[in-house]
Structure 1
Amino acid sequence: MLGRLEADHGDPAAAVRRLRVEWQRRPAAEVADALGWALYRAGEPAQALLFALRATAPEPGGGLRDAVYMYHRGMIERELQRHGAARRHLTEALRINPHFSPLHVPAARAAIEELGQPPDAGVPEMDDGVG
């Protein structure tokens, strides 16, 4: 898709303009993913997340188990400091296809490494008043 290529290697703002037109014409999961990624690359992660959610939602027209879609969603969530969700979706992207992109696989691995392990909050102690 030309818009995704433009977002990754050209002018993300131009990609957003192109993909908004495409979204009006064809509101499909593929377009939602590409528009979300373009918005992220253009510095609009909050708006980007709405489209990434649409592309990966378990509903008609979304919910595809696509490594690229999960990678995009995870990177957007990381930018928004949604660390648990980002870790989960980046890991899912690599689980679906550990070779999905020579450019993005190393970035996904680095992001997961940077996010680290989830905090070990443990089970809270219950104070039942007995004692």
Structure 2
Amino acid sequence: MPLALPVGSPDGLLIETSSRDFIVYEQRLAPVHQRQVFFHEVGHFICDHPTQEVMNTGVTQQLLPSLDPQLVSRVLGRNHSHSDEEREAEYVGSIIGRQIGAWSQQRLRPVPPGERELVARLSALEHRAQREKP
């Protein structure tokens, strides 16, 4: 869900509730960056990364009385540093994004008649290189 997030906040958040989960990302990012942020948050979800306590229940209830303290902890409690979990989420998100991009890109392009022979030879080289990969 794209939203205008406050300045200084993360570019994306995975919000887990008892009934539904949400991914929020900064709507002012470039579309390619929005997509990466979204898949990064999906990576946290897939890897079931734990959150950390960021405020004790009393402080949370005083500052944010209308919000469930566990919800606040789940949203704000994930480690937003260069931790193993962040690297793992980025890696998983990159793999998912790359695969979805491969599925969604149209692979066939119209080729002018005079260029078909050259395109066929270049395509044969590309397919051979793909077959030879370990």
Is TM more than 0.5 here?
A: no
Higher relative contact order (CA 8 A, sep 6+): 2
Q: Which has the larger radius of gyration?
A: 2
More strand as a share of residues? 2
Task: Name the structure with the higher helix share.
Answer: 1
> What TM-score does the superposition give when structure 1 sets the normalisation length?
0.28
Give the TM-score normalised by the residue count of structure 2: 0.28
